[in-house]
Amino acid sequence: MKCSTLGQLKQEKGIPPSFRSVKDEIRENLIDKLRHKEELFPGIIGYEDTVVPGLLNALLSRHNLILLGLRGQAKSRILRALTNLLDQEIACVAGCEINDDPFFPICASCQKRTKEEGDDLPIVYLPREKRYVEKLATPDVTIADIIGDLDPIKAARHGRELSAHENIHFGLLPRAHRGIFSINELPDLAPKIQVGLFNIMQEGDVQIKGFPIRLPLDILLVFSANPEDYTARGKIITPLKDRIGSEITTHYPRTLKEGVEITRQESWIDRVPSENLAIPDFIWEIVEGIAFRGRQDKRIDKRSGVSQRLPIACLENTLSNAERRALSAEEQKVVPRVSDIYASIPAVTGKLELEYEGELKGAENIAKELIESAVVGAFERYFSDQNFDQIVQWFDLGGEIKVDDQVPAGQYFEKVKSIQGLKKILDEQNIAPATEVEIAVSVVEFILEGLYGQKRLNRSESRGYFSEAEQTEEAYLGNLPSQKSSFN
Protein backbone atom coordinates (compact mmCIF):
# COMPACT_ATOMS: atom_id res chain seq x y z
CA MET A 1 0.00 0.00 0.00
CA LYS A 2 1.35 3.42 -0.95
CA CYS A 3 2.17 6.03 1.64
CA SER A 4 -0.36 8.84 1.95
CA THR A 5 1.45 11.13 4.41
CA LEU A 6 4.97 12.39 4.97
CA GLY A 7 5.14 10.44 8.23
CA GLN A 8 4.40 7.14 6.49
CA LEU A 9 6.97 8.00 3.82
CA LYS A 10 9.60 8.61 6.51
CA GLN A 11 8.84 5.22 8.05
CA GLU A 12 9.16 3.51 4.66
CA LYS A 13 12.46 5.21 3.85
CA GLY A 14 13.82 4.62 7.34
CA ILE A 15 15.78 7.84 7.49
CA PRO A 16 15.33 11.07 5.53
CA PRO A 17 16.94 10.25 2.17
CA SER A 18 19.79 12.25 0.72
CA PHE A 19 18.92 14.56 -2.13
CA ARG A 20 18.96 12.87 -5.55
CA SER A 21 18.59 15.13 -8.58
CA VAL A 22 16.67 14.10 -11.68
CA LYS A 23 19.98 13.93 -13.57
CA ASP A 24 21.34 11.51 -10.95
CA GLU A 25 18.12 9.50 -11.19
CA ILE A 26 18.44 9.20 -14.97
CA ARG A 27 22.12 8.33 -14.69
CA GLU A 28 21.48 5.55 -12.16
CA ASN A 29 18.61 4.06 -14.15
CA LEU A 30 20.66 4.25 -17.36
CA ILE A 31 23.56 2.42 -15.75
CA ASP A 32 21.17 -0.28 -14.56
CA LYS A 33 19.69 -0.69 -18.05
CA LEU A 34 23.13 -0.83 -19.63
CA ARG A 35 24.22 -3.54 -17.20
CA HIS A 36 21.15 -5.60 -18.00
CA LYS A 37 21.47 -4.86 -21.75
CA GLU A 38 17.91 -3.53 -21.96
CA GLU A 39 16.58 -1.70 -25.01
CA LEU A 40 16.99 2.01 -24.34
CA PHE A 41 15.21 3.75 -27.22
CA PRO A 42 12.55 1.49 -28.73
CA GLY A 43 11.53 2.43 -32.26
CA ILE A 44 14.72 4.40 -32.98
CA ILE A 45 16.39 2.86 -36.04
CA GLY A 46 19.81 3.58 -37.56
CA TYR A 47 21.27 5.59 -34.67
CA GLU A 48 22.86 2.71 -32.73
CA ASP A 49 26.43 3.58 -33.74
CA THR A 50 26.05 7.31 -34.38
CA VAL A 51 23.57 9.28 -32.27
CA VAL A 52 22.93 6.95 -29.31
CA PRO A 53 26.56 6.75 -28.03
CA GLY A 54 26.80 10.56 -27.80
CA LEU A 55 23.39 10.73 -26.16
CA LEU A 56 24.35 8.14 -23.53
CA ASN A 57 27.61 9.95 -22.80
CA ALA A 58 25.68 13.19 -22.23
CA LEU A 59 23.25 11.52 -19.83
CA LEU A 60 26.03 9.77 -17.93
CA SER A 61 27.77 13.15 -17.65
CA ARG A 62 24.52 14.72 -16.29
CA HIS A 63 24.53 17.25 -19.13
CA ASN A 64 21.72 19.37 -20.44
CA LEU A 65 21.73 18.52 -24.14
CA ILE A 66 20.55 19.53 -27.58
CA LEU A 67 19.79 17.42 -30.67
CA LEU A 68 20.79 19.14 -33.90
CA GLY A 69 19.20 17.86 -37.07
CA LEU A 70 16.89 18.53 -39.98
CA ARG A 71 13.18 17.84 -39.85
CA GLY A 72 11.98 14.26 -39.70
CA GLN A 73 15.07 12.84 -37.96
CA ALA A 74 13.26 11.53 -34.84
CA LYS A 75 14.57 14.28 -32.54
CA SER A 76 11.30 14.68 -30.64
CA ARG A 77 10.83 10.92 -30.37
CA ILE A 78 14.28 10.52 -28.82
CA LEU A 79 13.65 13.28 -26.29
CA ARG A 80 10.28 11.82 -25.31
CA ALA A 81 11.88 8.41 -24.90
CA LEU A 82 14.06 9.81 -22.11
CA THR A 83 11.12 9.32 -19.74
CA ASN A 84 11.94 5.58 -19.84
CA LEU A 85 15.03 6.44 -17.78
CA LEU A 86 13.01 8.01 -14.96
CA ASP A 87 11.70 6.14 -11.93
CA GLN A 88 8.25 4.61 -12.36
CA GLU A 89 6.81 7.21 -9.97
CA ILE A 90 7.90 9.71 -7.34
CA ALA A 91 6.32 11.07 -4.16
CA CYS A 92 5.15 14.70 -4.28
CA VAL A 93 3.46 17.13 -1.93
CA ALA A 94 -0.27 16.88 -2.61
CA GLY A 95 -1.66 20.01 -4.25
CA CYS A 96 1.73 21.45 -5.20
CA GLU A 97 1.82 23.02 -8.66
CA ILE A 98 5.47 22.13 -9.20
CA ASN A 99 5.46 18.58 -7.78
CA ASP A 100 7.68 19.46 -4.82
CA ASP A 101 9.71 16.79 -3.05
CA PRO A 102 8.19 16.43 0.47
CA PHE A 103 11.73 16.04 1.90
CA PHE A 104 13.23 18.96 -0.05
CA PRO A 105 10.49 21.50 -0.89
CA ILE A 106 11.57 24.61 -2.81
CA CYS A 107 8.35 26.60 -3.16
CA ALA A 108 7.42 28.87 -0.25
CA SER A 109 3.93 27.39 0.05
CA CYS A 110 5.22 23.80 0.48
CA GLN A 111 7.93 24.90 2.90
CA LYS A 112 5.26 26.58 5.03
CA ARG A 113 2.95 23.54 4.87
CA THR A 114 5.78 21.18 5.81
CA LYS A 115 6.42 23.17 8.99
CA GLU A 116 2.72 23.49 9.86
CA GLU A 117 1.48 19.99 9.01
CA GLY A 118 4.62 17.99 9.76
CA ASP A 119 4.19 14.24 9.35
CA ASP A 120 0.53 14.74 8.40
CA LEU A 121 1.50 16.45 5.14
CA PRO A 122 -0.45 14.57 2.40
CA ILE A 123 1.55 12.77 -0.29
CA VAL A 124 0.61 11.86 -3.88
CA TYR A 125 2.55 9.96 -6.53
CA LEU A 126 3.51 11.27 -9.97
CA PRO A 127 4.09 8.74 -12.79
CA ARG A 128 7.09 9.25 -15.02
CA GLU A 129 4.94 9.96 -18.09
CA LYS A 130 3.80 13.20 -16.42
CA ARG A 131 7.34 14.31 -15.65
CA TYR A 132 8.03 15.31 -19.26
CA VAL A 133 7.01 18.81 -20.37
CA GLU A 134 7.44 19.88 -23.99
CA LYS A 135 7.16 23.28 -25.62
CA LEU A 136 7.49 24.24 -29.27
CA ALA A 137 9.45 27.47 -29.44
CA THR A 138 7.82 30.31 -31.34
CA PRO A 139 8.70 34.02 -31.42
CA ASP A 140 5.57 34.92 -29.43
CA VAL A 141 6.49 32.80 -26.38
CA THR A 142 6.85 34.99 -23.29
CA ILE A 143 8.68 34.79 -19.97
CA ALA A 144 5.28 34.25 -18.36
CA ASP A 145 4.73 31.15 -20.51
CA ILE A 146 8.12 29.61 -19.66
CA ILE A 147 8.99 30.90 -16.17
CA GLY A 148 5.80 32.40 -14.82
CA ASP A 149 4.34 35.72 -13.73
CA LEU A 150 3.50 37.57 -10.54
CA ASP A 151 -0.21 37.66 -9.78
CA PRO A 152 -1.10 41.01 -8.10
CA ILE A 153 -4.56 39.70 -7.19
CA LYS A 154 -3.02 36.94 -5.07
CA ALA A 155 -0.80 39.50 -3.36
CA ALA A 156 -3.70 41.86 -2.61
CA ARG A 157 -6.00 39.09 -1.44
CA HIS A 158 -3.52 37.81 1.16
CA GLY A 159 -1.86 41.13 1.98
CA ARG A 160 1.56 39.97 0.79
CA GLU A 161 4.35 41.90 -0.87
CA LEU A 162 4.28 41.60 -4.65
CA SER A 163 7.71 39.88 -4.73
CA ALA A 164 6.63 37.02 -2.43
CA HIS A 165 7.02 33.54 -3.92
CA GLU A 166 3.43 32.69 -3.07
CA ASN A 167 2.27 35.22 -5.67
CA ILE A 168 3.93 33.44 -8.60
CA HIS A 169 1.73 31.91 -11.27
CA PHE A 170 4.16 29.22 -12.42
CA GLY A 171 4.98 28.71 -16.08
CA LEU A 172 5.94 25.51 -17.90
CA LEU A 173 9.53 25.34 -16.65
CA PRO A 174 8.74 25.32 -12.90
CA ARG A 175 5.92 22.85 -13.55
CA ALA A 176 8.56 20.50 -14.98
CA HIS A 177 10.43 20.55 -11.63
CA ARG A 178 11.87 17.09 -10.88
CA GLY A 179 11.40 16.09 -14.50
CA ILE A 180 12.49 16.75 -18.09
CA PHE A 181 11.77 20.04 -19.87
CA SER A 182 12.04 19.96 -23.65
CA ILE A 183 12.04 22.88 -26.09
CA ASN A 184 11.76 22.12 -29.79
CA GLU A 185 13.33 24.54 -32.29
CA LEU A 186 15.21 26.41 -29.56
CA PRO A 187 16.59 29.25 -31.76
CA ASP A 188 13.04 30.45 -32.43
CA LEU A 189 12.76 31.65 -28.83
CA ALA A 190 13.12 35.41 -28.37
CA PRO A 191 16.55 36.42 -26.94
CA LYS A 192 15.10 37.59 -23.62
CA ILE A 193 13.52 34.15 -23.11
CA GLN A 194 16.87 32.52 -23.86
CA VAL A 195 18.44 34.78 -21.21
CA GLY A 196 15.85 33.58 -18.71
CA LEU A 197 16.70 29.98 -19.56
CA PHE A 198 20.43 30.25 -19.03
CA ASN A 199 19.90 32.09 -15.73
CA ILE A 200 17.80 29.15 -14.55
CA MET A 201 20.40 26.68 -15.83
CA GLN A 202 23.39 28.37 -14.21
CA GLU A 203 22.25 30.37 -11.19
CA GLY A 204 18.76 29.01 -10.57
CA ASP A 205 17.22 32.47 -10.47
CA VAL A 206 15.20 34.73 -12.73
CA GLN A 207 13.73 38.21 -12.66
CA ILE A 208 9.97 38.52 -12.98
CA LYS A 209 8.72 42.06 -13.46
CA GLY A 210 11.93 43.39 -11.94
CA PHE A 211 11.85 41.19 -8.84
CA PRO A 212 14.67 38.65 -8.42
CA ILE A 213 13.09 35.25 -7.77
CA ARG A 214 15.17 32.30 -6.60
CA LEU A 215 14.00 29.05 -8.20
CA PRO A 216 16.49 26.21 -7.60
CA LEU A 217 14.66 23.92 -10.00
CA ASP A 218 15.74 20.31 -10.41
CA ILE A 219 15.38 19.73 -14.16
CA LEU A 220 17.03 18.04 -17.10
CA LEU A 221 16.84 20.54 -19.95
CA VAL A 222 16.79 19.07 -23.46
CA PHE A 223 16.44 20.94 -26.73
CA SER A 224 16.21 20.38 -30.47
CA ALA A 225 17.22 22.71 -33.29
CA ASN A 226 18.11 22.94 -36.96
CA PRO A 227 21.92 23.13 -37.35
CA GLU A 228 21.49 26.07 -39.72
CA ASP A 229 19.96 28.21 -36.97
CA TYR A 230 22.18 26.97 -34.16
CA THR A 231 25.25 29.03 -35.06
CA ALA A 232 26.80 32.38 -34.16
CA ARG A 233 25.10 33.76 -37.26
CA GLY A 234 21.81 32.14 -36.30
CA LYS A 235 19.28 33.05 -33.65
CA ILE A 236 20.86 31.43 -30.60
CA ILE A 237 22.54 33.59 -27.97
CA THR A 238 26.09 32.57 -27.09
CA PRO A 239 25.71 32.37 -23.28
CA LEU A 240 22.87 29.85 -23.62
CA LYS A 241 24.80 27.85 -26.21
CA ASP A 242 27.76 27.76 -23.83
CA ARG A 243 25.64 26.35 -20.99
CA ILE A 244 24.32 23.37 -22.96
CA GLY A 245 26.60 20.49 -22.07
CA SER A 246 26.38 18.29 -25.19
CA GLU A 247 25.44 18.87 -28.82
CA ILE A 248 24.38 15.68 -30.59
CA THR A 249 23.87 15.63 -34.35
CA THR A 250 21.14 13.46 -35.86
CA HIS A 251 20.91 12.34 -39.48
CA TYR A 252 18.66 10.72 -42.06
CA PRO A 253 18.87 6.94 -42.66
CA ARG A 254 22.30 6.06 -44.01
CA THR A 255 21.12 3.08 -46.06
CA LEU A 256 18.01 2.23 -48.05
CA LYS A 257 17.46 -0.78 -45.79
CA GLU A 258 17.33 1.42 -42.68
CA GLY A 259 14.93 3.81 -44.39
CA VAL A 260 12.61 1.00 -45.45
CA GLU A 261 12.64 -0.36 -41.90
CA ILE A 262 11.63 3.04 -40.49
CA THR A 263 8.88 3.53 -43.09
CA ARG A 264 7.59 0.00 -42.49
CA GLN A 265 7.45 0.71 -38.75
CA GLU A 266 5.78 4.12 -38.98
CA SER A 267 3.36 3.83 -41.92
CA TRP A 268 -0.28 2.91 -41.43
CA ILE A 269 -0.74 -0.34 -43.33
CA ASP A 270 -2.75 -2.45 -40.90
CA ARG A 271 -6.03 -1.02 -42.23
CA VAL A 272 -6.10 -4.00 -44.63
CA PRO A 273 -6.06 -7.55 -43.19
CA SER A 274 -2.57 -8.98 -43.60
CA GLU A 275 -3.83 -11.93 -45.63
CA ASN A 276 -5.36 -9.52 -48.17
CA LEU A 277 -2.35 -7.22 -48.47
CA ALA A 278 0.92 -7.77 -50.31
CA ILE A 279 3.40 -4.94 -50.73
CA PRO A 280 6.25 -6.09 -52.99
CA ASP A 281 9.75 -5.31 -51.73
CA PHE A 282 10.48 -3.17 -54.78
CA ILE A 283 7.55 -0.88 -53.89
CA TRP A 284 9.07 -0.25 -50.44
CA GLU A 285 12.45 0.48 -52.05
CA ILE A 286 11.05 2.79 -54.72
CA VAL A 287 9.13 4.82 -52.14
CA GLU A 288 12.21 5.09 -49.92
CA GLY A 289 14.36 5.89 -52.93
CA ILE A 290 12.29 9.02 -53.59
CA ALA A 291 13.46 10.50 -50.28
CA PHE A 292 17.08 9.41 -50.82
CA ARG A 293 17.20 11.03 -54.25
CA GLY A 294 15.43 14.12 -53.00
CA ARG A 295 18.15 14.64 -50.39
CA GLN A 296 20.75 14.62 -53.17
CA ASP A 297 18.82 16.81 -55.62
CA LYS A 298 20.32 20.29 -55.97
CA ARG A 299 16.89 21.75 -56.73
CA ILE A 300 15.68 20.89 -53.21
CA ASP A 301 16.70 23.05 -50.25
CA LYS A 302 19.38 21.18 -48.25
CA ARG A 303 18.75 23.37 -45.19
CA SER A 304 15.22 22.03 -44.89
CA GLY A 305 16.04 18.50 -45.94
CA VAL A 306 13.63 15.82 -47.07
CA SER A 307 11.81 14.52 -44.02
CA GLN A 308 11.41 10.83 -43.30
CA ARG A 309 7.70 11.65 -43.22
CA LEU A 310 7.81 11.87 -47.03
CA PRO A 311 8.21 8.12 -47.72
CA ILE A 312 5.78 7.34 -44.88
CA ALA A 313 3.05 9.56 -46.35
CA CYS A 314 3.89 8.42 -49.89
CA LEU A 315 3.59 4.75 -48.95
CA GLU A 316 0.25 5.36 -47.22
CA ASN A 317 -1.13 7.18 -50.28
CA THR A 318 0.24 4.47 -52.58
CA LEU A 319 -1.58 1.85 -50.56
CA SER A 320 -4.76 3.96 -50.55
CA ASN A 321 -4.76 4.16 -54.35
CA ALA A 322 -4.32 0.38 -54.58
CA GLU A 323 -7.06 -0.10 -51.97
CA ARG A 324 -9.42 2.14 -53.94
CA ARG A 325 -8.78 0.11 -57.09
CA ALA A 326 -9.40 -3.16 -55.25
CA LEU A 327 -12.69 -1.86 -53.85
CA SER A 328 -13.84 -0.63 -57.26
CA ALA A 329 -12.91 -3.91 -58.98
CA GLU A 330 -14.15 -6.03 -56.05
CA GLU A 331 -10.73 -7.64 -55.72
CA GLN A 332 -9.79 -9.35 -52.46
CA LYS A 333 -6.05 -8.75 -52.74
CA VAL A 334 -4.55 -5.26 -52.41
CA VAL A 335 -1.20 -5.05 -54.20
CA PRO A 336 0.34 -1.62 -54.96
CA ARG A 337 1.89 -0.90 -58.36
CA VAL A 338 4.33 1.73 -59.60
CA SER A 339 1.41 3.71 -61.02
CA ASP A 340 0.02 3.92 -57.47
CA ILE A 341 3.25 5.65 -56.43
CA TYR A 342 2.71 8.23 -59.17
CA ALA A 343 -0.81 8.70 -57.86
CA SER A 344 0.67 9.56 -54.44
CA ILE A 345 2.46 12.67 -55.74
CA PRO A 346 0.25 14.96 -53.56
CA ALA A 347 1.87 13.31 -50.51
CA VAL A 348 5.32 14.19 -51.91
CA THR A 349 5.08 17.74 -53.23
CA GLY A 350 4.10 19.34 -49.94
CA LYS A 351 7.24 17.99 -48.29
CA LEU A 352 9.71 19.43 -50.79
CA GLU A 353 11.22 22.85 -50.06
CA LEU A 354 12.53 23.96 -53.44
CA GLU A 355 15.38 26.22 -54.46
CA TYR A 356 14.85 28.80 -57.22
CA GLU A 357 15.65 26.30 -59.97
CA GLY A 358 13.21 23.86 -58.44
CA GLU A 359 10.46 26.47 -58.25
CA LEU A 360 10.87 27.08 -61.97
CA LYS A 361 10.56 23.37 -62.68
CA GLY A 362 7.59 22.89 -60.35
CA ALA A 363 7.17 20.56 -57.38
CA GLU A 364 5.00 18.07 -59.28
CA ASN A 365 7.48 17.69 -62.13
CA ILE A 366 10.35 17.23 -59.69
CA ALA A 367 8.32 14.62 -57.77
CA LYS A 368 7.73 12.70 -61.02
CA GLU A 369 11.43 12.80 -61.84
CA LEU A 370 12.32 11.55 -58.35
CA ILE A 371 9.89 8.65 -58.70
CA GLU A 372 11.23 7.80 -62.14
CA SER A 373 14.80 7.84 -60.84
CA ALA A 374 13.86 5.69 -57.83
CA VAL A 375 12.15 3.17 -60.13
CA VAL A 376 15.26 2.89 -62.31
CA GLY A 377 17.46 2.42 -59.24
CA ALA A 378 15.27 -0.39 -57.89
CA PHE A 379 14.89 -1.95 -61.36
CA GLU A 380 18.64 -2.14 -61.86
CA ARG A 381 19.09 -3.76 -58.45
CA TYR A 382 16.38 -6.37 -58.98
CA PHE A 383 17.11 -7.20 -62.62
CA SER A 384 20.83 -6.51 -62.97
CA ASP A 385 21.42 -9.75 -64.89
CA GLN A 386 18.09 -10.02 -66.69
CA ASN A 387 17.84 -9.74 -70.47
CA PHE A 388 14.79 -7.79 -71.64
CA ASP A 389 15.61 -7.72 -75.37
CA GLN A 390 12.58 -9.86 -76.23
CA ILE A 391 10.19 -7.48 -74.51
CA VAL A 392 11.78 -4.42 -76.13
CA GLN A 393 11.69 -6.17 -79.51
CA TRP A 394 7.95 -6.88 -79.07
CA PHE A 395 7.33 -3.15 -78.70
CA ASP A 396 9.72 -2.32 -81.56
CA LEU A 397 7.60 -4.54 -83.80
CA GLY A 398 4.57 -2.37 -83.11
CA GLY A 399 3.27 -3.64 -79.76
CA GLU A 400 1.43 -1.18 -77.49
CA ILE A 401 -0.05 -1.47 -73.99
CA LYS A 402 -2.62 1.08 -72.81
CA VAL A 403 -3.41 0.91 -69.07
CA ASP A 404 -4.00 3.23 -66.14
CA ASP A 405 -3.75 2.95 -62.37
CA GLN A 406 -7.38 1.85 -61.91
CA VAL A 407 -7.39 -1.06 -64.39
CA PRO A 408 -8.27 -4.28 -62.47
CA ALA A 409 -5.51 -6.85 -62.25
CA GLY A 410 -7.35 -9.42 -64.41
CA GLN A 411 -7.91 -6.98 -67.28
CA TYR A 412 -4.39 -5.64 -66.95
CA PHE A 413 -2.84 -9.10 -67.28
CA GLU A 414 -4.99 -9.93 -70.30
CA LYS A 415 -3.48 -6.89 -72.03
CA VAL A 416 0.15 -7.71 -71.20
CA LYS A 417 0.29 -11.52 -71.31
CA SER A 418 0.98 -11.50 -75.05
CA ILE A 419 4.23 -9.55 -74.56
CA GLN A 420 7.05 -11.69 -75.87
CA GLY A 421 9.39 -13.02 -73.15
CA LEU A 422 7.21 -11.90 -70.23
CA LYS A 423 6.08 -15.38 -69.15
CA LYS A 424 9.68 -16.54 -68.83
CA ILE A 425 10.53 -13.67 -66.49
CA LEU A 426 7.48 -14.32 -64.31
CA ASP A 427 8.41 -18.01 -64.13
CA GLU A 428 11.93 -17.07 -63.02
CA GLN A 429 10.40 -14.88 -60.30
CA ASN A 430 8.23 -17.83 -59.17
CA ILE A 431 5.04 -15.88 -59.87
CA ALA A 432 1.97 -17.85 -61.00
CA PRO A 433 -0.43 -15.35 -62.64
CA ALA A 434 -3.31 -17.82 -62.37
CA THR A 435 -3.27 -17.52 -58.56
CA GLU A 436 -1.22 -14.34 -58.01
CA VAL A 437 -2.48 -12.11 -60.78
CA GLU A 438 -2.31 -8.92 -58.66
CA ILE A 439 1.36 -9.55 -57.83
CA ALA A 440 2.11 -10.53 -61.42
CA VAL A 441 0.64 -7.26 -62.69
CA SER A 442 2.64 -5.25 -60.15
CA VAL A 443 5.86 -6.95 -61.31
CA VAL A 444 5.00 -6.45 -64.98
CA GLU A 445 4.36 -2.75 -64.47
CA PHE A 446 7.63 -2.48 -62.54
CA ILE A 447 9.44 -4.00 -65.53
CA LEU A 448 7.73 -1.70 -68.03
CA GLU A 449 8.44 1.36 -65.88
CA GLY A 450 12.05 0.28 -65.47
CA LEU A 451 12.50 -0.09 -69.22
CA TYR A 452 10.86 3.30 -69.70
CA GLY A 453 13.23 4.83 -67.16
CA GLN A 454 16.17 3.29 -69.03
CA LYS A 455 14.79 4.88 -72.24
CA ARG A 456 14.22 1.51 -73.87
CA LEU A 457 10.45 2.08 -73.99
CA ASN A 458 8.28 5.14 -74.08
CA ARG A 459 4.88 5.97 -72.67
CA SER A 460 2.30 8.69 -72.96
CA GLU A 461 -1.15 9.44 -71.60
CA SER A 462 -2.79 8.75 -74.94
CA ARG A 463 -0.96 5.58 -76.00
CA GLY A 464 0.44 3.97 -72.86
CA TYR A 465 3.68 2.01 -73.40
CA PHE A 466 5.16 1.81 -76.88
CA SER A 467 8.52 1.65 -78.64
CA GLU A 468 11.19 4.23 -77.85
CA ALA A 469 12.44 3.94 -81.43
CA GLU A 470 8.94 4.70 -82.76
CA GLN A 471 8.68 7.73 -80.49
CA THR A 472 11.98 9.09 -81.74
CA GLU A 473 10.97 8.69 -85.39
CA GLU A 474 7.55 10.27 -84.89
CA ALA A 475 9.04 13.14 -82.92
CA TYR A 476 11.47 13.74 -85.80
CA LEU A 477 8.57 13.83 -88.23
CA GLY A 478 6.80 16.32 -86.05
CA ASN A 479 3.81 14.11 -85.29
CA LEU A 480 4.46 13.78 -81.53
CA PRO A 481 6.17 15.97 -78.94
CA SER A 482 9.68 14.77 -78.16
CA GLN A 483 9.53 15.20 -74.39
CA LYS A 484 8.31 12.43 -72.09
CA SER A 485 4.70 12.69 -71.03
CA SER A 486 3.33 12.03 -67.54
CA PHE A 487 1.84 8.69 -66.60
CA ASN A 488 -1.71 8.11 -65.46
Are the C-beta atoms of 173 and 199 separated by less than 8 Å? no
Q: Which residue ranges make up each domain of the chain?
A: 6-249, 256-477
The average pLDDT across 218-223 equals 94
C-alpha to C-alpha distance for 394 and 228, rounded to whole angstroms: 53
Lowest mean pLDDT among 13-22, 173-182, 341-350, 390-399: 13-22
Strand duo 179-184 + 132-136: pairing: parallel
Q: How far is CA 278 from CA 243, 267, 270, 293, in A?
A: 51, 15, 11, 25
Q: Does domain 6-249 have CATH number 3.40.50.300?
A: yes
Give the model confidence (pLDDT) of 414-459 as tens digits.
999 999 999 999 998 888 888 899 999 999 999 999 999 999 999 8
Q: Is the pLDDT of residue 403 over 60?
A: yes
What is the sign, positive or negative, of the torsion defined by CA atoms of 30, 31, 33, 39?
positive
Nearest CA to 341 out of 456, 487, 212 is that of: 487
pLDDT band at 214 (very low <50, low <70, confident <90, very high): confident
Q: Is the pLDDT of residue 346 over 80?
A: yes
User: Residue 80 belongs to what H/E stretch?
Assistant: helix 75-81
- Give the Cα-Cα-Cα angle 460, 465, 468 (nearest 5 degrees): 90
DSSP string, 416-429: HTTSTTHHHHHHHT
CB atoms within 10 A of CB 130: 11
Largest CA distance in the chain: 99
C-alpha to C-alpha distance for 487 and 439, rounded to whole angstroms: 20
Strand duo 148-150 + 89-93: pairing: unpaired
pLDDT band at 228 (very low <50, low <70, confident <90, very high): confident
Give the model confidence (pLDDT) of 42-54 as tens digits.
999 999 999 999 9
Residues in the chain: 488
The average pLDDT across 95-115 equals 89
Nearest CA to 90 out of 107, 79, 102, 105 is that of: 102
DSSP string, 204-222: SEEEETTEEEE----EEEE
Are the C-beta atoms of 331 and 325 separated by less than 8 Å? yes
Give the model confidence (pLDDT) of 23-80 as tens digits.
999 999 999 999 999 999 999 999 999 999 999 999 999 999 999 999 999 999 999 9
More confident residue, 13 or 189: 189
C-alpha to C-alpha distance for 240 and 199, rounded to whole angstroms: 9
Are the C-beta atoms of 350 and 300 separated by less than 8 Å? no
Radius of gyration of the chain (CA): 30
C-alpha to C-alpha distance for 26 and 65, rounded to whole angstroms: 13
Highest-scoring range by mean pLDDT, 108-112, 146-150, 293-297, 459-463: 293-297
Q: What is the pLDDT of residue 122?
A: 93
Q: What is the pLDDT of residue 238?
A: 85
Are the C-beta atoms of 183 and 223 separated by less than 8 Å? yes
